[in-house]
Amino acid sequence: MKTVWIIDGAYLFSFGKTQPFDYLKLKRELVRRNGAPIYESYFLNATHDPFNDAQNAFHTWLKSAEPKGPKLRVQLYRLKDLHSTCPECKHEFDRHVQKGVDVGIATLIIKLAAQNVYDRLILSAGDGDFEDAISYVKSELHKEVWICGSGANLSTDLQSYSDDVLWLEDMIAAISK
């Protein structure tokens, strides 16, 4: 069974702020639970332009093959500056928002399934916006879907479509830094 792992980088980053983990250890644990190697792995995220040295080093490490790194294909999108005004106090502020990552993930889920690249998808994301893509690859393309996420913020919509839910909290001993 060919397995593909797709990661929403912001989602795992959020989990990592409360529970530091190692991507290489996480991949090894997913391979163990999968019972077979992972055929392809993707990491999608948004980042500042230009990248800083720490981001460059991290993304390079993610691409590195074992035993040095987890060997992920990294797809980066730009953060967009959004100017906002507080509706209550009228204070103006700027913030950065992801642009294109969720669409990129949904497109990748469907594209790889339609190309028959995988039989099983492991998705590390928690956003219910992926429900339509997951529903399509399950019902129309007959793919198996595992969701790897945190109990703190994993959409019940995604859980309802998954063939298995791999809780990050249950893997702490194996994936901690």
Position 133 pLDDT exceeds 80: yes
Of residues 94 and 172, which shows the higher confidence score? 172
CATH number at residue 117: 3.40.50.1010
Q: Which domain holds residue 117?
A: 3-175
CA 176 – CA 47 distance, rounded (Å): 24
pLDDT tens across 13-68, in order?
Answer: 999 999 999 999 999 999 999 999 999 999 999 887 666 778 889 999 999 999 99
Length of the chain: 177
Q: Which of 9-18, 80-89, 92-101, 162-171 has the lowest mean pLDDT?
A: 92-101
Assign 81 a pLDDT band (cuts: 50, 70, 90).
Answer: low
Give me the mean pLDDT over the 63-89 stretch. 86
| Number of domains observed in the structure of the chain | 1
pLDDT tens across 134-170, in order?
Answer: 999 999 999 999 999 999 999 999 999 999 999 999 9
Position 9 pLDDT exceeds 90: yes
pTM strictly above 0.75: yes
**Tokens 């990129």 belong to which residue?**
104
